[in-house]
Amino acid sequence: MTARTLSRGASVDSSDPLLERILIDNISKGTQSSERNLESHQLNGMLDQVSSPVKREVASRSSFSMKSWNNNVEIDVESEKLEKDREKPVRSKRVVTIQHRSLLAGLAYCVSSCSMILVNKYVLSSYHFNAGISLMLYQNFVAVVVVSTLSFLGVITTEPLTWRLIKVWLPVNVIFVGMLITSMFSLKCINVAMVTVLKNVTNVIIAVGDMYLFNKHHDNRVWAALFLMIISAISGGLTDLSFHAIGYTWQFINCFLTASYSLTLRRVMDTAKHVTNSGELNEFSMVLLNNTLSLPLGMLLVFVFNEVNYLSTTPLLRLPTFWLVTTLSGFLGLAISFASMWFLHQTGATTYSLVGSLNKIPLSVAGILIFKVPTSLENSASIFFGLLAGVLFATAKIRERSQS
Average pLDDT on 60-79 reads 48
pLDDT at 319 over 90: yes
pTM: 0.73
In this prediction, residue 44 has a pLDDT band, given cuts at 50, 70 and 90, of very low
For the chain, give the mean pLDDT. Answer: 79
Range among 142-151, 157-166, 331-340 with highest mean pLDDT value: 142-151
Listed range (142-151, 172-181, 284-293, 354-363) with the worst mean pLDDT: 354-363
> What is residue 403's predicted lDDT score, i.e. its pLDDT?
76
Average pLDDT on 170-195 reads 94
> What is residue 304's predicted lDDT score, i.e. its pLDDT?
92
Percent of the chain with pLDDT over 90: 39
Backbone angles phi, psi at 37, to 5 degrees: -145, 135
CA–CA gap between residue 294 and residue 272 (Å, rounded): 17
> What is residue 214's predicted lDDT score, i.e. its pLDDT?
82
